[in-house]
């Protein structure tokens, strides 16, 4: 039983590292989504004339926000 417990502990650092990477990626995704939501909100508050100055139409806002991250 001790050998089984020790072999399980040896794999723990790799498991914790994978778990840490997964949590980090998840939090990065949340940050990216929040930034996109802020850009969408800012653009949607502009007038049609202000959007046109940026080369956008109102229906292009979502595409512009998504495309700005790629």
36-69 pLDDT, tens digit per residue, is: 999 999 999 999 999 999 999 999 999 999 987 5
> For the CA atoms of the chain, what is the radius of gyration?
22
Polymer length in residues for the chain: 70
pLDDT tens-place string over residues 17-37: 899 999 999 999 999 999 999
DSSP 55: T
Q: Which residue do the tokens 């502990």 mark?
A: 9
Q: Which residue do the tokens 């229906």 mark?
A: 59
Q: 60: closest CA among 70, 69, 51?
A: 51
Kindly report the pTM of this predicted structure: 0.70
Q: Locate 20 and state its tokens.
A: 């840490």
- Beta strands per DSSP E along the chain: none
């Amino acid at each position: 039983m001790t050998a089984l417990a020790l072999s399980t502990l040896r794999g723990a650092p790799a498991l914790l590292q994978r778990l840490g990477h997964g949590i980090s990626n998840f939090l990065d995704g949340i940050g990216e989504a929040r930034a996109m939501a802020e850009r969408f909100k800012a653009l949607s508050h502009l007038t049609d004339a202000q959007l046109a100055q940026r080369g956008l139409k109102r229906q292009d806002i979502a595409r512009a926000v998504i495309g700005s991250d790629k």
